[in-house]
A = this chain, B = another copy of it.
Amino acid sequence: MARDSEATRARILAAAIEEFAERGLAGARVDRIAQAASSNVRMIYAYFGDKSGLFDIALRTALRSLADDVPPRPDDLPGWAGDVFDHHRRHPDVLRLSMWAQLERPGATSEPLDTYADKVDLVEASAPAPFTPVDALVLVYALAQAWFLSPVGLTAIDGDPNDAQRLAAHRVAVVTAVERMLRPE
């Protein structure tokens, strides 16, 4: 029984991540999530409160899975940036969810997420002046995500931005950028 409800929760969360990533908080429909999760709206509200509550948990779950899948490697931040790039390539939902949150629910990203504090500690030794560890993390994430947040009018100038070879070349650029940026003077 407990196992059943855990499985149901997981199905609802997976469906919620997909629906919110596609349509955002305002555009998402809980009945569509219920249908995709073979559940029902009443059960979703019982588990997660209202639509905003479900959104917050979906966002946190997606960010947590990014953090768990590609934890910072303090001894190799350039390699880590490459891993984050790969993760975004495989899971475009995470970036879309983060963008919706930023636009529709900035409060959802403001609570002190312990994952960030842990990461800041991890990169402390790898952030040469003038970078604080927070600066370094913000900039490394930005480089790793850049391709997927850029207007297609720019990324398509060299050809299809989703072409495997183009992506591989840009991945090299990302890893090199982090390497050079964090090399002590």
Which residues of A pack against B, CB within 8 Å?
24, 26-27, 63, 96, 98-104, 106, 109-113, 116-117, 120, 130-132, 134-139, 141-143, 145-147, 149-158, 169-170, 172-174, 176-177, 180-181, 183
- Point out the residues of chain B lying under 8 angstroms from A134, CB to CB: 154-155, 157-158
CB distance from A143 to the nearest CB of B (A): 6
- Point out the residues of chain B lying under 8 angstroms from A101, CB to CB: 151
A157 to B68, CA, bound (A): 20
Residue among B113, B139, B154 making CB contact with A138, cutoff 8 Å:
B154
- Point out the residues of chain B lying under 8 angstroms from A154, CB to CB: 113, 116, 120, 134, 137-138
Identical chains in the assembly: 2
- Point out the residues of chain B lying under 8 angstroms from A112, CB to CB: 153, 156-157
CB distance from A107 to the nearest CB of B (A): 9
Asked whether B146 lies within 8 Å of A139 as measured between CB atoms, the reply is yes
CB distance from A94 to the nearest CB of B (A): 12
For A120, give the chain B residue with the smallest CB separation. Answer: B157
A173 to B147, CA, bound (A): 21
A142 to B156, CA, bound (A): 16
- Point out the residues of chain B lying under 8 angstroms from A152, CB to CB: 106, 109-110
Knowing A110-B152, A116-B157, the reply to whether A176 touches B131 (Cβ < 8 A) is yes
Asked whether B24 lies within 8 Å of A173 as measured between CB atoms, the reply is no
- 11 A/B residue pairs, CB under 8 Å, sorted by A: A24-B26, A24-B104, A99-B103, A106-B152, A116-B154, A134-B154, A134-B155, A134-B157, A135-B173, A180-B181, A181-B181
Residue among B102, B106, B132, B146 making CB contact with A158, cutoff 8 Å:
B132
